[in-house]
Amino acid sequence: MNNNRREFLKKGLLGVSATALIPGVIKGSPVASSIAAAPADLPSRVLGRTGIKAPLISLGASGAINRDFIKGAYNSGIKLFFSATYYGEGNNEIIVGEALKELPRDSFVVATAVPCNELDNRTGMLNDKFSARAYMEKAEGSLRRFGLDHIDIILFPYAAKRETVCNEDILRTMEQLRQQGKVRFTGIASHNGTEEALDAAVSTGIYDIAMISYNFRIENREALDAAIARATASGMAIVAMKTTAGVFRNKSGPGINSDAALKWALQNVNISTIVSGMTTSEQIQKNLAMIRNLKMTEEEMSDLKTALAFSDTGLFCQQCGQCLSQCPASLDIPTIMRGYMYAYGYRNLRQARNTLAAAGLETGSCADCTSCIVKCRSGFDVRAKIQDIKRLTEVPEDLLLS
């Protein structure tokens, strides 16, 4: 995107004053550069140009169905809460908002991912039915569900292709949300094509934050680390997700040393915070203890080497997309593999079910193929995993556990 076009978007279409364009300013009032009441002994990093100084661990709220748990996480020191419109069909945003709304508004940060139905996960491209107005309405719907005066961070998820990240309708909508005081900061979330997505986000000058998959199993670490460094040098903050690479080595265990996996990610000083899908107070306390000492022990390093050398291929899909052109049924295999990981790794059946629905997986998928010709780069038995996980599509919604 050229500089003239970027400035046009930044100045906006609403005729607002220049003050409203300064990150961290809403309705004319400065926002604190750090989160109030964060425990002083919790190691923190600044989220890029947002100026927010936050603990190294944040809560991915997809599995949280209890308001008291959210408030307990806050009282323990967690100050960043990440939700999404597709968590519990919007109910998760309601739970998070209700748990936090009586607390001082400058003492926590809420973020949510707002997708659009017009994005093809297989290609990473928007189709011609995309409507900026409809996307604005979805974002406004999130704000209503939170019940707060504003959302701190809005993320455009499944970002992969430059054309999508730089889409002027999306950029214009993000700027309008910020100018209207509905959102403080904007960003992307990326599961695949991350290097391209990060470089594209930097080129716009619009996005403040990127949430990306980052763990000890990634195959393209050198290229990804370089893209992360370029993004942080531009002022963007990097938030890491999928840091435990699926939690388990396979669907029945044994588990991966989570402290070792999380510490590994945080060795990269360009990672501002980790989003962890914690669901118990014990997990919260364990992770808070972990970030107080990031030095990896010999045992932890050995545990990760063992996990990498394990003969099973694990639960973490590299999301490389090489399988897509091989499948005669044109299944969205990378998204299905994420659903498999959510079910067997994170034990979050609702998120798994929603992910499978987004991939268009049906009970009959793979039924017409007597054998699978897809050769996964990571060694996944694609057909076996799909045959296994597609049973989840038959389970009644009211029987699913969060």
| In contact, 322 and 377? CB cutoff 8 Å | yes
234-271 core/surface letters (b: 16 or more CB in 10 A; e: else): bebbbbbbbbbbbbbbebeeeebbbbbbbbbbbebebb
| In contact, 26 and 184? CB cutoff 8 Å | yes
Is the residue at 314 inside a domain?
A: no
Whether 280 and 135 share a structural domain: yes
Question: Nearest Cα to 300, choosing from 244, 340, 246, 374?
Answer: 244
Please tell me whether residue 35 adopts helix, strand or coil conformation. coil
Is the residue at 309 inside a domain?
A: no
Domain end point (choices 304, 339, 369): 304
**Per the structure, how many domains does the chain have?**
2
Is the residue at 318 inside a domain?
A: no
The predicted structure's pLDDT at residue 326: 82
Is the residue at 98 inside a domain?
A: yes
| In contact, 241 and 316? CB cutoff 8 Å | no
Whether 339 and 294 share a structural domain: no
Is the residue at 311 inside a domain?
A: no
Measure the CA–CA gap between 259 and 180, rounded to whole angstroms: 41
What percent of the chain is predicted at pLDDT more than 70? 84
Is the residue at 319 inside a domain?
A: no
Is the residue at 382 inside a domain?
A: yes
283-315 core/surface letters (b: 16 or more CB in 10 A; e: else): ebeebbebbeeeebeeebeebbeebeeeeebbb
Whether 266 and 360 share a structural domain: no
Lookup result for tokens 């080595």: 249
| In contact, 234 and 244? CB cutoff 8 Å | no
Per-residue pLDDT reduced to its tens digit, 97-138: 999 999 999 999 999 999 888 888 777 888 888 899 999 999
Whether 42 and 172 share a structural domain: yes
Whether 188 and 330 share a structural domain: no
H or E segment to which residue 186 belongs = strand 183-190
Is the residue at 380 inside a domain?
A: yes
Domain end point (choices 274, 304, 334): 304
Whether 288 and 345 share a structural domain: no
Q: What is the domain-level CATH number for residue 254? A: 3.20.20.100
Measure the CA–CA gap between 233 and 227, rounded to whole angstroms: 10
Q: Which residue has the higher pLDDT, 128 or 163?
A: 163
Per-residue pLDDT reduced to its tens digit, 256-284: 789 999 999 999 999 999 999 888 999 99
Whether 290 and 363 share a structural domain: no
Whether 300 and 345 share a structural domain: no
Q: Whole-prediction pTM value? A: 0.79
**Confidence category of residue 30, pLDDT binned at 50, 70, 90:** very low
Whether 252 and 221 share a structural domain: yes
Q: What is the CA radius of gyration of the chain?
A: 20
| In contact, 314 and 247? CB cutoff 8 Å | no
Whether 270 and 390 share a structural domain: no
Whether 261 and 382 share a structural domain: no
Domain of 173 in residue numbering reads as 3-304
Whether 25 and 94 share a structural domain: yes
Domain end point (choices 272, 304, 336): 304
